[in-house]
Amino acid sequence: MGRIGLQLRATLENITRLRAEGEDFRWYLKLKCGNCGEISEKWQYLRLMDSAPLKGGRGSATMVQKCKLCSRENSIGNVFERRWCLVCAEEDIMPLIFTLRIFSFLDILSQTIKPYNAEDSEKFKTIVEFECRGLEPVDFQPQAGFAAEGAESGTPFNDINLLEKDWNDYDEKTKESVGIYEVTHKFVKC
């Protein structure tokens, strides 16, 4: 499966830099097992601040999961191992290339989190990428925790809730309404 990007499309009115705010932002997803195709019934969330160990102590991921239907364990190729350098006595993170049997996992790639800007309005743009092994996101539910800024004023708008796919407010500095409308998404392979 590899990397999967979450693309967002929305109509922005007098607003820019719509983004997931903080390491505690919750990405609500429905996930599909890569082996049997089972899709989770309930929304599951991932946060950057969460970390679960991979089987065998060979690193960690945002979510590690075993399929409830088929109990499939999946193979991965690149894992990062922490070890101590005997020369300088400092911790080093080394990539290991091997096959390791682990539970399915999904990881948020923090360096890929991008804001959705005024110039992106009404176009699909990748706002985050996930590293997927054995699990694939198939649906996204935007909720609270987004932040944005007034396009002209820079006025901060925090804790924006997009559960209803629309949001609006008023920018006191510019004396204009601001809003985010018709929020949709899709997943793409990266």
Q: What is the CA angle 36-40-44, rounded to 5?
A: 135
Residue 132 has pLDDT above 50, yes or no: yes
3-state SS, residue 124: coil
Residue 51 has pLDDT above 80, yes or no: no
Please write the tens of the pLDDT for every residue from 81-96: 333 344 444 444 444 3
> Looking at residue 150, what is its pLDDT?
98
Lowest mean pLDDT among 35-44, 52-61, 82-91: 82-91
> Looking at residue 67, what is its pLDDT?
74
Single out the residue of 178, 165, 28, 167 nearest to residue 108, CA to CA.
28
> Looking at residue 58, what is its pLDDT?
62
Residue 79 has pLDDT above 70, yes or no: no
Alpha-carbon gap, residue 124 to 22, rounded angstroms: 22
> Looking at residue 99, what is its pLDDT?
36
pLDDT band of residue 104 (cuts 50, 70, 90) is low
> Looking at residue 90, what is its pLDDT?
46
Dihedral (CA of 38, 74, 25, 6) sign: negative
What's the mean per-residue pLDDT of the chain?
Answer: 82
Rounded to two decimals, what is the model's pTM?
0.80
Q: How far is CA 21 from the centre of its chain?
A: 12
97-120: average pLDDT:
75
